[in-house]
């Protein structure tokens, strides 16, 4: 998928999380999660800029999702700790950072599974390719369609979180 397709899937994955956070009285965390997921939606595709790393290789795996989650969680924990937050709060924010980082990469992987090229998410344990082969990555209708569905899902979640 291209940028708009990845943004759309990220928004689609974010929508229930954003709804739950607003319902829990944490709209600032919902905003932060949504912004981070859109900002990092293309992170796995930076493999195209790194010599020696194949596209849809190591950066398109569950292991990479865990790595990005770990960086997000560690960063959130350190920020909270250095801001003087209690350990329990820092730990909770660290878990939140992990979830947002990992979900962002997993959303990217989900979008790439829709294409014939697919992904090998269990590398290095398995080289099995996963694909639904619904449309090619450069399909304009699919990319903008996914974006529209993602925007609609976030709008519906926002409306429902305020209306309920």
What's the pLDDT tens digit per position in 124-148? Answer: 999 999 999 999 999 999 999 999 9
What's the rounded mean pLDDT across residues 80-90? Answer: 95
Predicted pLDDT of residue 35: 97
> 119 forms bridges with which residues in the sheet?
130
The answer to whether residue 156 scores a pLDDT higher than 90 is yes
How far is 2 from 80, CA to CA, in rounded Å? 34
Cα separation values, 121 from 60, 86, 112, Å: 6, 36, 10
Q: Which of 163, 45, 49 is nearest to 107 (CA)?
A: 45
Band the pLDDT of 53: cuts 50, 70, 90. Answer: very high
The pLDDT of residue 78 is 97
Q: How many CA atoms lie within 13 A of 86 on its CB side?
A: 2
Contacts of 128 (CB under 8 A, 6+ apart): 120, 122
Predicted pLDDT at 164:
80
Helix (H, G, I), strand (E, B) or coil at 100: helix
Which uninterrupted H or E stretch holds 158?
A: helix 140-163
- Tell me: the pLDDT tens digits for 9-45? 999 999 999 999 999 999 999 999 999 999 999 999 9
Please choose, from the candidates 133, 143, 67, the residue with its C-alpha nearest in 3D space to the C-alpha of residue 105. Answer: 67
Show Cβ contacts of residue 96 under 8 Å, excluding neighbours closer than 6 positions.
29, 33, 73, 76
pLDDT of residue 111: 98
- Mean pLDDT for the chain? 96
Per-residue pLDDT, 90 = 96
Cα 19 to Cα 29, 42, 119, 164, distances in angstroms: 11, 23, 29, 11
HSE-CB at 117 with a 13 A cutoff on CA atoms is: 13
What pLDDT, on the 0 to 100 scale, is given for residue 5? 98
Mean pLDDT of the region 87-91: 96
Question: Is the pTM above the cut of 0.85?
Answer: yes
pLDDT score recorded for residue 152: 98
């Amino acid at each position: 998928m291209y940028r708009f397709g990845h943004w759309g899937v990220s928004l689609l994955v974010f929508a229930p999380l954003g709804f739950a956070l607003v319902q829990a009285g944490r709209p600032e965390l919902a905003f932060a999660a949504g912004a981070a997921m859109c900002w990092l939606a293309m992170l796995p595709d930076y493999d195209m800029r790194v010599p020696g790393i194949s596209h849809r290789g190591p950066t398109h795996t569950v292991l990479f999702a865990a790595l990005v989650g770990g960086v997000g969680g560690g960063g959130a924990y350190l920020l909270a700790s250095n801001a003087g937050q209690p350990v329990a709060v820092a730990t909770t924010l660290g878990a939140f950072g992990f979830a947002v980082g990992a979900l962002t990469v997993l959303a990217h992987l989900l979008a790439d599974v829709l294409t014939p090229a697919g992904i090998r998410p269990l590398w290095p344990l398995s080289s099995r390719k996963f694909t639904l082969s619904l449309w090619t990555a450069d399909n304009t209708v699919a990319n903008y369609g996914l974006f529209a569905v993602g925007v609609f899902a976030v709008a519906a979640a926002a409306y429902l979180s305020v209306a309920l």
